[in-house]
Amino acid sequence: MTYSFGHREGVFWTGGEAFETINPAHPGIVSGRYSETRLEDFDTIFATARHAALEWAATPGLRRQALTETWLDRIEAATEEIALAITLEMGKTLADARGEILHSLKEARFAVAEASRPIGEVMPSARPGLRNMTLRRPRGVIVAATPWNYPVLTPLRKLAPAFAHGNAVVLKPSEISPAAACLIAELAAGLFPRGLFQIVLGGGHVGAALTGHPQADGVTFTGSVATGKAVYAAAARNLTEVQLELGGKNGIVVHDSEDLDACIDQVVAGAVENAGQRCTGISRLLVQRKLAAEVEARIATRMSRMRVGDGMAADIDMGPMASRAHFARVEAAIAKGVAEGARRVTAGTDGRQEGFFIRPTLFADVTPDMSLAREEIFGPVLSMLTYEDIDEALSILNGVEFGLAAALYSNRNDIVQRFVSEAEAGMLHVNHQSAIDANMPFAGIKNSGVGAPSIGRSAINFYTTEHAVYIKS
């Protein structure tokens, strides 16, 4: 199957340079054919979005939410078709693709429900005859730029609250895996005003033109720290509000555990989910020295049993890296780790297959100064470090530029309390890996996030503006 979405004003904007997507399990197979959005169309795109946003904002809120729910129902009904597009372009297993869509819908439905809750407050007044209150209005035109690793979850995380709160959205999905986003855009046909949901396609120069456009009222971006800084700078030139979800170098601390097998199962799952191509994935394993040998052996056993291959196959645990370029980056990170003196416990590249496959890889004898312990790899690579006491563990855990997710395994209340109080991460997990719930804030600190967290109640702070109202009787 080859995907293609042609120019349709008010929905898809194409007409520029052609590009293709490929199946990362079979790089000789083209998955999609597209053309980039022409930069000269951007003023028209934003004018169309502005007109739609005004119409949508004037639509009663419960009506907006009902229409958004109908759109989500359509997406759920098309789960198999969309999951296939995810696997053919991005590579994850078909089961993982289905799971991504279903979790996305849980988050999206929570966001829509939140928009129906009370918004604003009645406030006391300092003067007689004056009634004070706050209210919130839709922000306007939201620009959303999303990465390749979750082709439905990340767009829906931005689209659902934007629509429910009364905004228009111009979305640029990754040029590596755009088909899923284009499919969910087609499913909105007939529900929303023309131009409320528009798709632009292309690489970095299209993204730069989009996020730096002066008619954007808000920019929400998920991706690397380097690109996030560029987006932040471009938005700042227009004083545009931003929401940035950036990288992570997430650590899991194994201090003690009554059930070490269950703990190791969680560690491996956190490291290899989505082939490690997950910003909340577990990349660093911090183990108390007395447990290190046993933990290493059990992880190696589990990793060696994992089946890596084409995501379309039913008996596969993990698919390929999403692109040739990313495959090369992960290979380079593994080679750099070996060169710096880390000990590779399990295999890396799987040279027996044609696709961009890298087997789950465990490194031991890693020290905090090594690149394996400091730099985001975004692949199925787990680096094991050891420590003596909780002071040393927290120092290692916090000694990176990132602050997205962190986890601890311990049955000691004093250790848990130290971790919850001192771990420098936006999302803290105790006795389970870094999986998230659909109603909790997706929050990063340090170089992992800027602005209001997505999901959760706090997302309203990005998708609406707050206003103080004074009414004289």
Q: Is the pLDDT of residue 110 over 70?
A: yes
User: What would the pLDDT profile of 187-232 be if each residue is shown by its tens digit?
Assistant: 999 999 999 999 999 999 999 999 999 999 999 999 999 999 999 9
Beta strands in 90-213 (DSSP E): 121-123, 130-138, 141-145, 168-172, 197-200
Q: For the chain, report the end-to-end CA distance as a whole number of angstroms.
A: 66
Residue 58 one-letter amino acid: A
263 is catalytic: no
- 40 DSSP assignment: G
Q: Using a pLDDT cut of 70, give the percent of the chain over it.
A: 99
Using pLDDT thresholds of 50, 70 and 90, give the confidence band for residue 293: very high
User: What would the pLDDT profile of 366-393 be if each residue is shown by its tens digit?
Assistant: 999 999 999 999 999 999 999 999 999 9
Question: Regarding beta strands 121-123 and 130-138, do their DSSP bridges make them parallel or antiparallel, or are they unpaired?
Answer: antiparallel
Q: Is the pLDDT of residue 351 over 80?
A: no
pLDDT, average across residues 91-116:
97
d(CA 344, CA 359): 12
Answer whether CATH 3.40.309.10 is correct for domain 250-438. Answer: yes
Q: Which of 286, 439, 336, 311 is nearest to 25 (CA)?
A: 311
279 is catalytic: yes
Q: Are 213 and 46 contacting, i.e. CB atoms less than 8 angstroms apart?
A: yes
User: What would the pLDDT profile of 253-274 be if each residue is shown by its tens digit?
Assistant: 999 988 999 999 999 999 999 9
User: What would the pLDDT profile of 301-310 be if each residue is shown by its tens digit?
Assistant: 999 999 999 9
Q: Are 375 and 396 contacting, i.e. CB atoms less than 8 angstroms apart?
A: no
pLDDT, average across residues 406-427:
97
CB-hemisphere CA count at 13 Å for 36? 17
Q: Are 146 and 199 contacting, i.e. CB atoms less than 8 angstroms apart?
A: no
Q: Are 259 and 225 contacting, i.e. CB atoms less than 8 angstroms apart?
A: no
Q: Is the pLDDT of residue 440 over 90?
A: yes
Using pLDDT thresholds of 50, 70 and 90, give the confidence band for residue 403: very high
pLDDT at 456: 84
Strands lying side by side in the sheet with 168-172: 12-13, 197-200, 168-172, 141-145, 218-222, 241-245, 449-450
DSSP alpha helix (H) spans, 306-402: 324-339, 371-374, 390-398
CA angle 411, 414, 417 (to 5 degrees): 95
CA distances 223 to 49, 177, 405, 447, 449, Å, are 24, 14, 15, 12, 10
Q: Are 173 and 206 contacting, i.e. CB atoms less than 8 angstroms apart?
A: no
Which helix or strand (DSSP H or E) is residue 23 part of?
Answer: strand 15-23
Q: Which of 107, 241, 279, 296 is catalytic?
A: 279
**Residue whose tokens read 């577990």:** 282
Helices vs strands, H then E, count in the chain: 15, 21
Q: Which fold has domain 12-246+448-472?
A: Aldehyde Dehydrogenase; Chain A, domain 1 (3.40.605)
d(CA 329, CA 205): 21
pLDDT at 416: 98
Using pLDDT thresholds of 50, 70 and 90, give the confidence band for residue 103: very high
The average confidence (pLDDT) of the chain is 96
Domain ranges, ordered by start, for the chain: 12-246+448-472, 250-438
Q: Is the dihedral of CA 114, 469, 452, 191 positive or negative?
A: positive
pLDDT, average across residues 124-149:
97
Q: Are 177 and 21 contacting, i.e. CB atoms less than 8 angstroms apart?
A: yes
Using pLDDT thresholds of 50, 70 and 90, give the confidence band for residue 349: low
User: What would the pLDDT profile of 40-70 be if each residue is shown by its tens digit?
Assistant: 999 999 999 999 999 999 999 999 999 999 9
Q: Which of 134, 62, 70 is nearest to 105 (CA)?
A: 70
Q: Is the pLDDT of residue 353 over 80?
A: no
CB-hemisphere CA count at 13 Å for 21? 32
CA angle 45, 46, 47 (to 5 degrees): 95
Residue 10 one-letter amino acid: G
The pTM score is 0.96
Q: Which of 36, 100, 241, 245 is catalytic?
A: 245
Question: Regarding beta strands 218-222 and 141-145, do their DSSP bridges make them parallel or antiparallel, or are they unpaired?
Answer: parallel
pLDDT at 352: 57
Q: Which of 297, 293, 302 is nearest to 268 (CA)?
A: 302
Using pLDDT thresholds of 50, 70 and 90, give the confidence band for residue 348: low
d(CA 242, CA 316): 39
Using pLDDT thresholds of 50, 70 and 90, give the confidence band for residue 71: very high
Residues 6+ apart with CB under 8 A from 310: 25, 26, 316, 319, 320, 355
